[in-house]
C-alpha cells in the first residue's frame, strides 16, 4: 500500500497547528519545518508525533523544498497550518494514491475570510496542486506564491481543502504586511522598478478585478474586504519595491 508524507512549514502557528495535524493524523508521517516560532508551535507539533525540524527563513518555495527533502513516503501532501483535510477529501486522496492514475492531484480550496467562506472574488474553486508522487514534484524557488512544478500528468479532485486563511482584521493586516514584503523582495531580485503612478493604478486594478470581474460583490461585505485587501497589498508591494530600489 502506498505511503503518505504530509509536509508543512510554520512560524508562530500555535493557534492552528493542532487542528491541522489532527486533520491529517491518518498519514504515515507528518513533517513540520519551523522558522523560529516564539510561541508553542514546535512543542505542540512534537507532542502530536510530528517530525519537527528548525531552519532559518528562506522564502516560501525554498522552505517547502526543505520540508520535502525530509519526506520518505511514496506520495507527498503539502498543507498549510491554516488548512484542514476533511473526511471526504481524505477518501479521495487515499483513492488517488491507490489508483495512481496521475503523478499529481489538484484540490479545490474553499477559503474563509473573517468568518465567511468565500465562493467568488477569485477565491473558489482555487485549485492547488497539493498531492504528488515523491520524486515527481518540487516547489518553485519563489519567495511568495510558490507552486509545485510537476513532472507528469495531473488530475483534479472534487472535495475541497478547507482554508481558514484570515481570521480577523489583525490577521489580515499581518498577512498583508508579510506578503507585500516578500513580493517586493522578489520583484527587486528580478530587477523590477516602479513609480508612484504604477503603484496607484495597479492597486485600483486589483480592487476592480476582485470586486467586479471576479464577482466579489456576490460575497457581500467579505468580498468588499477582500477587494480592499488586494488593493492594499498591491499598493504596499510597489511602494516597498520603490523603497528597496532607493537603497541600492
**CATH fit for domain 4-165, picks 3.90.550.10, 1.10.20.10, 3.40.30.10, 3.40.50.150:** 3.90.550.10
Q: Mark residue 114 as left, alpha or beta (left: phi above 0; alpha: psi -120 to 50; beta: remaining).
A: left
- Residue 187: the pLDDT is 95
- Rounded to a whole number of angstroms, the CA Rg of the chain reads 19
Extended beta strands in 118-174, E state: 128-133, 137-139, 148-150, 154-156, 161-166
97 pLDDT band, cuts 50/70/90, is very high
- Residue 1: the pLDDT is 84
Q: What is the mean pLDDT of residues 92-121?
A: 97
Q: Please state, in angstroms and rounded to a whole number, the distance separating the CA atoms of residues 229 and 171.
A: 11
- Residue 247: the pLDDT is 87
Q: In terms of DSSP bridges, do strands 75-78 and 51-54 run parallel, antiparallel, or are they unpaired?
A: unpaired
130 pLDDT band, cuts 50/70/90, is very high
The contacts of residue 174 (CB under 8 Å, 6+ apart) are none
- Residue 78: the pLDDT is 98
Q: Is the pLDDT of residue 143 over 90?
A: no
234 pLDDT band, cuts 50/70/90, is very high
- Residues of the chain with pLDDT > 90: what percent? 95
Give the start-to-end residue ranges of the domains of the chain: 4-165, 168-246
202 pLDDT band, cuts 50/70/90, is very high
Q: By the 8 A CB rule, do 81 and 52 touch?
A: no
Q: What is the mean pLDDT of residues 101-123?
A: 97
- Using DSSP, state whether 178 is helix, strand or coil: helix
Written as nine digits, the cell of 119 is 465562493
Average pLDDT, rounded, for the chain: 96
- How many residues are present in the chain? 248
**Segment 54-79, tens digit of pLDDT:** 999 999 999 999 999 999 999 999 99
Q: Is the pLDDT of residue 248 over 80?
A: no
Amino acid at each position: 500500500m502506498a505511503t503518505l508524507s504530509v509536509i508543512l512549514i510554520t512560524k508562530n502557528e500555535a493557534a492552528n497547528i493542532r487542528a491541522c495535524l489532527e486533520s491529517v493524523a491518518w498519514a504515515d508521517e507528518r513533517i513540520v519545518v519551523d522558522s523560529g516560532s516564539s510561541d508553542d508551535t514546535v512543542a505542540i507539533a512534537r507532542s502530536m508525533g510530528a517530525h519537527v525540524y528548525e531552519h532559518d527563513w528562506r522564502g516560501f518555495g525554498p522552505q517547502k523544498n526543505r520540508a520535502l527533502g525530509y519526506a520518505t513516503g511514496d506520495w507527498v501532501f503539502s498543507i498549510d497550518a491554516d488548512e484542514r483535510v476533511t473526511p471526504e477529501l481524505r477518501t479521495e486522496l487515499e483513492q488517488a494514491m491507490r489508483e495512481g492514475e496521475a503523478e499529481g492531484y489538484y484540490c479545490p480550496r474553499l477559503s474563509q475570510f473573517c468568518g465567511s467562506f468565500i465562493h467568488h472574488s477569485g477565491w473558489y474553486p482555487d485549485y492547488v496542486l497539493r498531492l504528488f508522487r515523491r520524486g515527481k514534484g518540487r516547489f518553485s524557488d519563489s519567495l511568495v506564491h510558490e507552486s509545485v512544478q510537476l513532472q507528469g500528468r495531473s488530475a483534479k479532485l472534487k472535495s475541497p481543502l478547507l482554508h481558514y486563511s484570515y481570521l480577523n482584521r489583525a490577521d489580515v493586516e499581518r498577512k498583508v504586511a508579510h506578503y507585500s514584503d516578500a513580493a517586493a523582495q522578489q520583484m527587486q531580485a528580478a530587477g523590477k522598478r516602479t513609480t508612484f503612478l504604477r503603484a496607484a493604478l495597479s492597486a485600483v486594478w486589483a480592487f476592480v478585478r476582485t470586486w467586479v470581474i471576479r464577482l466579489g460583490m456576490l460575497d457581500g461585505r467579505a468580498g468588499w474586504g477582500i477587494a480592499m485587501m488586494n488593493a492594499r497589498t498591491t499598493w504596499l508591494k510597489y511602494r516597498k519595491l520603490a523603497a528597496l530600489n532607493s537603497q541600492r
